[in-house]
């Protein structure tokens, strides 16, 4: 259930990432920790940590009950 909710939020954010030449892939959701892989331009962008923490993590914590934090998988 949580994994589906996380995917829905990522789908809402995806157009913004695609516009900048990037994308995000959901790897796992385990005990409130969401593991994501940034791809394309997002994977190599120096601002990717800010995108991950300030953008994606904030949205997921706000919209999906039980999400505690985001980890980036390389």
Is residue 71 within 8 Å of residue 33, measured between CB atoms? yes
Task: Enumerate the domain spans of the chain.
Answer: 2-72
What's the pLDDT score for residue 34? 97
pLDDT digits (tens, 9 = 90+) for 37-72: 988 887 777 777 777 888 899 999 999 999 999 999
**CB crowding 12-42: b at 16 or more within 10 Å, else e:** eeeeebeeeebbbeeeebeeeebebebeeeb
What's the pLDDT score for residue 42? 75
Any idea which fold 2-72 has?
A: GMP Synthetase; Chain A, domain 3 (3.30.300)
Task: Write out 6-23 in H/E/C secondary structure.
Answer: HHHHHHHHHHHHHHCCEE
Average of per-residue pLDDT across 13-18: 91
pTM of the model: 0.88
pLDDT digits (tens, 9 = 90+) for 17-31: 899 888 999 999 999
* C-alpha to C-alpha distance for 43 and 40, rounded to whole angstroms: 6
């Amino acid at each position: 259930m949580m994994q589906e909710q996380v995917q829905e939020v990522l789908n809402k954010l995806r157009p913004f990432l695609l516009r900048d030449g990037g994308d995000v892939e959901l790897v796992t959701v385990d005990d409130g920790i969401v593991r994501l892989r940034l791809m394309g331009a997002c994977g190599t962008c120096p601002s990717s940590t800010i995108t991950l923490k300030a953008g994606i993590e904030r949205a997921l914590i706000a919209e999906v009950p039980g999400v505690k934090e985001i980890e980036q998988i390389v």
